[in-house]
Structure 1
């Protein structure tokens, strides 16, 4: 059975306290609801010997590596979101990086942008991706677009293990990703 999945990786994107907790600086309203489904996806991946890649945001305490539109969150001595080593940068309860998993740090929406993810996946023989996490119209969408452009096939997004600020934004993004024949 393991051979069937040896070319597949599960990407778990931004399931960090600052995105999921009610008091998180970058809270995604639908994030808390998907935590059990993300946990289940990780469990199934491990049962099938699928590589689990934890894609997380971690920023410099001074915000020198954040997007221009987020620099105000680090102004005047404020601790911005997902600062490396902060409570907000930690994975939510129930999600744990284990031996054999891989952690990738990003500073932009796409897990591929300005990271070594593509070369890492190629080196591991990965051609198929399964994606979970937040936020559907930003990090999920950008990662899917880049994965498709890099010829990963198939790229599967688990609808009930991804979330956006509202159900309408979440569903609308899926129609954008899949086209009008999405079957939603």
Structure 2
């Protein structure tokens, strides 16, 4: 294992049932198709000794901590990705292990109003690899914030991330490439050994 991987974190973003399962209230159409690649990315990250960061949404059942445009989805009965509800759980095949790090967010970016940046600095992390959903929202905003925070290496695995349509996914990947983000396929990333 090289020192590079010890300084690299894999972010697994929003791979939760309410976003992935067919009856999920916030279904991302391309989400289910990337599950095998996300599982593989996590396996490889663990083999390399990388920090695995599980970035998830967990909300108050009344939606008091949700963006204004989504509050209509919440009531006394709950809503999407409510803490403690099944929809907030990771999809089958993905699980948090001892030594991984779980970060709960309530907005698109994993960095917004969280302690993620200071946690990564404390762990000596300077490189980020991103997988999960969805490309125009949580992936993009997290990536743009990482670039703004001067992480020297930010990568998005293109076939382990997804959006509602391939066209939306590709357009956002294009935008991220234009700010210096690497966009390898899973195979390319797995074969990288430096």
Normalised TM-score (structure 1): 0.96
CA drift at 1:180 = 10
Q: 1:140 to 1:180 in 2, by over 3 A?
A: closer
Deviations for 1:125-174, whole angstroms, at most 9, x for unmatched residues? 00000000000000000000000000112100000000000000000111
Q: Spell out the pairing of 1:8-157 with structure 2 (5 A cutoff).
A: 8-75=8-75, 77-157=76-156
Alignment check: 8 A CA contact 1:15 1:133 kept: yes
Q: Cα deviation per residue 1:24-61 (whole Å; 9 max; x = unaligned)?
A: 11110000000000000000000000000000000001
Unaligned runs of 5+ in 2: 185-194
Counterpart contact for 1:2–1:49, Cα < 8 Å: no
Q: Secondary structure at the match of 1:105?
A: strand
Query: Which runs of 5 or more residues in structure 1 are unaligned?
Result: none
3-state DSSP class of the match of 2:74?
helix
Q: Residues 40, 78 of structure 1: CA spacing in aligned structure 2 closer, same or farther, 3 A cutoff?
A: same
Using the size of structure 2 for normalisation, the TM-score is 0.91
